[in-house]
Chain A
Amino acid sequence: MSTRRWEAVVIGCSAGGLEVLRLILPGLPADFPLPVIVVSHTAADSGGLLAGLLGRYCRLAVSDADDKSPVTRGSIHVAPAGYHLLIEKDRTFALNTDPKVCNVRPSVDVLFETAAEAFSGRLIGVLLTGANEDGCRGMAAIKGGGGLTIAQSPETAFADTMPRSAISAGVVDQVLAPAAILARLLRLTTPQGPSPDMRQDTTGH
């Protein structure tokens, strides 16, 4: 059934991201069937406290992704501050300290592009608020690989550059407000939800 198809959710955000993450992630049940992987630029400024902050509100366990550890469901994995987070083909995490991409490390593009290869068409990419264009190439990679791409609606975003750049690049399947993103993630992962192949008909445009 439809739940079989999706294998992971990757989420990228920047300025204003913590507030939006708090609208989405606490709504995921403890038995949410997909691993959730998050890159937030602002984590670097907050000294890597993001996992701790989110953990207080979520039913899923939240922790920093460890180098070489497997991508597991039942958890929200957060890119540690100062490191790019990548997914290997064998679905383990990899970290590196390569140069910043789009002026940031961790970069959303790096996570999304490597996840798109590791999960190909079975990946859901979610791009939230942010003030730079990181994430646009990553969304293109996910969509190009047959995955599903969701962007936060620019009018609900604290900073709209990030979702807007992906939308205008034509690499976004669905544009949704935070509450609708949560609802969509839940529906995509419940057996009676719509088949992902129908996603073109259910876009939130």
Chain B
Amino acid sequence: MKDAEINDIAIDLFVEALYRRYGYDFRNYARASLKRRVKELALALGFNHVSELISPLLHDPAFVDQVVPKLSVPVTEMFRDPAVFLAMRRQVLPVLASYPRINIWQAGCATGEEVYSLAIMLKEEGLYDRARIYATDINDVALARAEEGIFALRHLKDFSANYLKAGGRQSLSDYYHAAYEHASMDRSLKENMVFARHNLASDGVFCEVNMIVCRNVLIYFDRLLQNRVLRLFRDSLIRQGFLCLGTRESLRFSEIGDDFAAVDEDQKLYRKVLIAVGES
């Protein structure tokens, strides 16, 4: 048997152990990406084989806290894909403005750059006071950083450029305080943010929201899990609520495609139709 095939067995066993021992369900993650991360984890811990991860995983309960953050690498930016944020600002926020309260769920928020981007945009459109952003992820380490809202200063130049392309009305520097190598996001942006751990693979609906932003998370899942998550999103959205996916993600081949209409297919902005099929 080839090494690659043996490694595949080890990955399967590792994923199974993670699920049966701790309930973390990575069984329906897209395999090629997951495999690379598990291999990197083994390497980083000084192991030669993925199979060596299994024993500490089963017998050392502290080990799992090292593992999960490494399996969900939180890579993100402020106003990543500015055109998406511009479209949201122009096509979605004016509609949300008609609601007395605006609940937004940002699923897979990673280290929070997108949450602050949303808050800034809502503020500039005069909507932040009546908004609440629920930002969730499975990665506790990333969530803690998101809550802090302190980003490496060297990224802010790129973020500022994105912000302006996204239709920013001021200067991004109005929203943070630079100190040493860090940019600390303004306190007022955090007022209506709630951070919580939520696992899209196993947890359910936790509130009714006007908009869900979940970008670059579904690509990590297989079709089965994608459909589970999309159903969860549909069931969490109010009628005519909005859904924003990553630029390489789409509802086109999903089971719930009929429950949504495209607001802007290029920017992956969708809106739940008045009477969703699943609701009747």
CA gap between A195 and B269 in the complex, in Å: 51
Identify the stretch in A9-17, A27-35, A93-101 within 8 Å (CB) of chain B at 4 or more residues. Answer: A93-101
Given the complex, which residues of B lie within 8 Å of A113, measured CB to CB?
A: 36
The reply to whether B248 and A98 form a contact with Cβ atoms under 8 Å apart is no
Given the complex, which residues of B lie within 8 Å of A89, measured CB to CB?
A: 31-32
The reply to whether B75 and A95 form a contact with Cβ atoms under 8 Å apart is no
Given the complex, which residues of B lie within 8 Å of A145, measured CB to CB?
A: 4
Given the complex, which residues of A lie within 8 Å of B220, measured CB to CB?
A: 96
- Chain B CB count within 10 A is highest, among A80, A87, A96, for A96
CB-nearest residue of chain B to A97: B216
CA gap between A86 and B219 in the complex, in Å: 11
**A46 → chain B, closest Cβ, in Å?**
16
B-contact bits for A165-205, CB 8 A (1 contact / 0 none): 00000000000000000000000000000000000000000
Q: Please, could you name 30 A-B residue pairs with CB atoms under 8 Å apart, sorted by A?
A: A66-B248, A67-B248, A67-B249, A68-B223, A68-B253, A83-B219, A83-B248, A86-B32, A87-B32, A88-B31, A88-B32, A89-B31, A89-B32, A94-B30, A94-B32, A94-B33, A94-B219, A95-B219, A95-B248, A96-B30, A96-B219, A96-B220, A97-B216, A97-B219, A97-B246, A98-B36, A98-B75, A99-B73, A114-B36, A117-B4
A94-B32, A97-B216 are known; give 7 further A-B pairs, CB within 8 A: A66-B248, A88-B30, A98-B33, A98-B36, A98-B75, A113-B36, A117-B4
Given the complex, which residues of A lie within 8 Å of B248, measured CB to CB?
A: 66-67, 80, 83, 95
The reply to whether A98 and B37 form a contact with Cβ atoms under 8 Å apart is yes
CA gap between A68 and B249 in the complex, in Å: 10
Residues in A73-106 with C-beta less than 8 Å from chain B: 80, 83, 86-89, 94-99
Residues in B233-280 with C-beta less than 8 Å from chain A: 246, 248-249, 253
**A203 → chain B, closest Cβ, in Å?**
26
* Tally of contact residues, A, Cβ under 8 A: 21
CB-nearest residue of chain A to B249: A67
**B81 → chain A, closest Cβ, in Å?**
8
The reply to whether B75 and A97 form a contact with Cβ atoms under 8 Å apart is yes
B-contact bits for A52-80, CB 8 A (1 contact / 0 none): 00000000000000111000000000001
**B17 → chain A, closest Cβ, in Å?**
21
In the complex, whether A36 has a CB less than 8 A from a CB of chain B is no
Given the complex, which residues of B lie within 8 Å of A50, measured CB to CB?
A: none
Residues in A106-121 with C-beta less than 8 Å from chain B: 110, 113-114, 117, 120
CB-nearest residue of chain A to B253: A68
With contact pairs A68-B223, A80-B248, A117-B4 given, residues A98 and B32 touching in the complex (Cβ less than 8 Å): no
CA gap between A134 and B249 in the complex, in Å: 27
5 A-B pairs with the lowest CB-CB distances in the bound complex, closest first: A86-B32, A96-B33, A97-B216, A94-B30, A114-B32
**B99 → chain A, closest Cβ, in Å?**
31
Given the complex, which residues of B lie within 8 Å of A88, measured CB to CB?
A: 30-32
**B128 → chain A, closest Cβ, in Å?**
27
The reply to whether B73 and A86 form a contact with Cβ atoms under 8 Å apart is no
CA gap between A122 and B220 in the complex, in Å: 27
The reply to whether B219 and A110 form a contact with Cβ atoms under 8 Å apart is no
CA gap between A120 and B33 in the complex, in Å: 18
CA gap between A80 and B249 in the complex, in Å: 12
**A71 → chain B, closest Cβ, in Å?**
12
Given the complex, which residues of A lie within 8 Å of B37, measured CB to CB?
A: 98
**A100 → chain B, closest Cβ, in Å?**
9
CB-nearest residue of chain A to B8: A89
The reply to whether A67 and B31 form a contact with Cβ atoms under 8 Å apart is no
Given the complex, which residues of B lie within 8 Å of A67, measured CB to CB?
A: 219, 248-249
Given the complex, which residues of B lie within 8 Å of A120, measured CB to CB?
A: 2, 4
**B108 → chain A, closest Cβ, in Å?**
11
**B59 → chain A, closest Cβ, in Å?**
29
**B223 → chain A, closest Cβ, in Å?**
6
Given the complex, which residues of A lie within 8 Å of B32, measured CB to CB?
A: 86-89, 94, 114
CB-nearest residue of chain A to B32: A86
A-contact bits for B220-234, CB 8 A (1 contact / 0 none): 100100000000000
User: Residue B36 contacts which of A68, A83, A95, A110 (CB distance < 8 angstroms)?
Assistant: A110
